[in-house]
Structure 1
Amino acid sequence: MDKIIETELGTIQKVVVEKMQFLYTEVSNDLESQKKTWPEFEARFPSLTGRKMYGLDYGKSNLYRVCSLVRESDNGETFGLNQFEFGEGTYMRLRLKFEPPELYEKIGPAYTLLIDQYEGSINWNLPLIEHYKAKNILDVMVPVAKQ
């Protein structure tokens, strides 16, 4: 990994996102659809313990995927959701550490900061990613061309 850059929102670092298998549902890429869909999506699972949650923003197509990593313990169960494999990519990650609801209010400014800073090297063929690490930790990631 490359150097860490400190900002008022959190730390920025280049990371490689590996291939992942996701369960997902797809909605319009607007805040209201996302807010409505997250609780519905989470309610499909018997427990959220150990679940890794992601949001994938496919900006150009106006689609947003609410996702959970497929777990071995799912034993093939899809919980009525679609499944897909996410390829890999190089991303600039901004790690937010705030308590909710402030954490969620920082997502937009985090994307703005990353897009402004890395505008010339963004790979728009890959989605923007939100990785919900913990109740108070969220990684916002913007794909960049390999350098």
Structure 2
Amino acid sequence: MSNYPPRHALGRIDVVTLEDLPALSRNVPLNLSNIRAGWPEFEHGFDSLKGRRMLGLLYGGRHVYRVCSVRVERDVDNPLDLDETTIPGGAYLRLRLRGDVPEVYGQIGEAFDVLFGQAEHDPTRPSIESYRREGEIDCLVPIVQQLE
């Protein structure tokens, strides 16, 4: 593609390569009300959110949404008895959303629709919502091969 990375009204689309990341997680049913309820419950279990990377993994074919925190040093014993998971690495298309909360959350579905229309996705890996900071979310779709 000569126009890569493409631009969209929501932002620039980039190809990024992620490493596998160990994480603590909990599954919730894949519907908006359960996801909204699942995040605060998951976050309140931690001693602090400082230094944590919070991600949502979407397993569309399995109708599962997994709330995750990348492991930090103080998680050695997993005192919350959360599920152990690995956030799979590899090539992803990324669209970074920026805006005011909660309006920016309303753009997540459209961002994934845009990304799925750009390249052949890898159905063996989840799509990822990476919450970088308040008002900034990376939407990532796993791709089969890197684009040039």
Shared topology, TM-score over 0.5? yes
Query: Percent same amino acid at aligned positions?
Result: 37
Asked whether the 8 Å contact 1:128–1:141 carries over to 2, the reply is yes
Size of the aligned set, in residue pairs, is 143
4+ residue segments displaced more than 6 Å: none
Instruction: Give yes or no for contact 1:52–1:69 (8 Å, CA) kept in 2.
Output: yes
Equivalent position SS for 1:27: strand
Distance 2:45 2:18 in 1: 26
The TM-score normalised by the length of structure 2 is 0.91
User: Whole-Å Cα distance in 1 between the matches of residues 79 and 145 of structure 2?
Assistant: 33
Using the alignment, how far apart are the partners of 2:144 and 2:118 within structure 1? 14
Whole-Å separation in 2 of the counterparts to 1:112 and 1:17: 21
Determine the C-alpha separation between the residues in 1 that align with 2:118 and 2:5.
Answer: 14
Contact 1:56 1:130 in 2 (8 A): yes
Report how far residue 78 of structure 1 moved. 4.1
**Structure 1 gap segments, 5+ residues each:** none
Assess, with a 3 A threshold, how the Cα gap between structure 1 residues 23 and 78 changes in structure 2: closer, same or farther.
farther
Aligned-residue CA RMSD in angstroms?
A: 1.2
In the alignment, structure 1 residue 140 sits paired with structure 2 residue 124: no
Q: Deviations over 1:41-86 (max 9, x none)?
A: 0000011111100000000000110000000132333422111223
Cα deviation 1:99-138 (Å, max 9, x = unaligned): 11111000011011111222xx111111010000000110
Which residue in 2 is equivalent to 1:23?
24
Q: Secondary structure at the match of 2:46?
A: coil
In 2, the alpha carbon distance for the partners of 1:15 and 1:53 equals: 18
